[in-house]
Amino acid sequence: MMIHARASDEDPIGIIAAVHGPVVDIACDHLPPLHRALCSALDSERYTFEVYQHLDERHVRAITLHSTGGLQRGMPVFDTGAPLRVPVSPDCLGRLLNVFGEPLDGGPALSSKQFRNILGQPVPLHQTVSASGILETGIKVIDLLCPFIRGGKTGLFGGAGIGKTVLITEFMHAIVALHQGVSVFAGVGERIREGHELWHEMQQAGVMPHTLMVFGQMDESPGVRFRVSLAALSYAEFLRDSLGKEVLFLVDNVFRFVQAGSEISGLLGRMPATVGYQPTLMSEVAELQDRIISTTQGAITSVQAIYVPADDMTDPAVTSILNHLDTSVILTRSQASKGFYPAVDPLQSSSKLMDRHFLGDRHYGVAEGVREHLARYRELEDIISMLGLEELSETDRRIVVRARKLQRYLTQPFHVTSAFTGIAGASVSLQQTLQDCEAFLRGEFDDVPEDQCYMRGRMREASR
């Protein structure tokens, strides 16, 4: 354990008075401050608690960060003298860690005497820098219609099973291959199968030496799932400040962070608020999001997967996260059902910086032209299904033909799925995407069959 208790000959701060699932009430001689890490031990088993409430002048209520099996009344509790913190070192790259900074990959513990508080304060305003420029991903639909902003925050919204984790994994591959940056991945409430597969995929792709993974698994305490994203963010801040590199901070899944906060809120006896969420929802999301920021020393670009309950974008958790983002990539079940992967909805997805002055005239004009074609096709879909394509005007028929080919062109095979699909992954530069889309809009590919536009990289490859 990386949180060191005081010497064993010191008196304990108190004893365990009650255990209710992950909630532990502790009778104390003097009250420790909120969010102080306390610890207890039984044989070789060690337990860590985080203080959440002062019940009265003698008792505190804490959440245990381990399984509570073996805890009993009367066990002595010691003060670690600090909040929850993790050891930080440049050696952390290439490692798989838990919320305490302990190795999960079977390797040695991090040899570091430097620690970082996971509840650190946001950077002072005068040291921050604004988002600047596009961070190319090589993914056509994203770079064209909802570009990632260097130093910005991007959300991947979608229901269950439509490709959020695959898209995040591909982006991790891209940041190393295209930008020689480093990635910090926070697995919040990950299934052990997903975590195991992701770890091995990163090793096979050769990007693990530039990646740090921090996991809080689904079967762990809500306290762990609630804090693991902040622990991973502490590592991202350390790498930003010490290396000065492009740091990509990925979270899968922010909704599980909200869920863990809701569990803790219920365990502490707080009254639920809108749709059963915790009353502290907005401040908890802001506590995470406001620390994801770029400074004069380095940039943190964040990509966050957000599960959308019942595909309802008006859910309070979804809207509270949405308010903090620069770019929103919406993955829809209707796109996935048509076989369009990545299942990004080009009309719902957007970026706050889709602006002519930021993107330039060419990129902005092509993106608007593609959106206009796709929007017009969506308007005409009902008419086509009832009356047929022949009843449309010549202009509308031409728009529909080009829109259908653009839909298929914006699909793309990924490097991280090539082992499963048998299709080699493709990465397409933004300039090549703009060139191809301009050719579609001018009608240069009107004679190319639709199936030759599907799941390809550049159109030069499709027309061979």
* Catalytic position from the list 73, 191, 362, 442: 191
Reply yes or no on whether 444 is catalytic: no
Q: Tell me the residue type at 383.
A: I
- List the catalytic residue out of 50, 136, 190, 201: 190
Among this protein's residues, is 191 annotated catalytic? yes
Check 36, 164, 240, 456 and give the catalytic one: 164
Catalytic annotation, residues? 164, 190-191
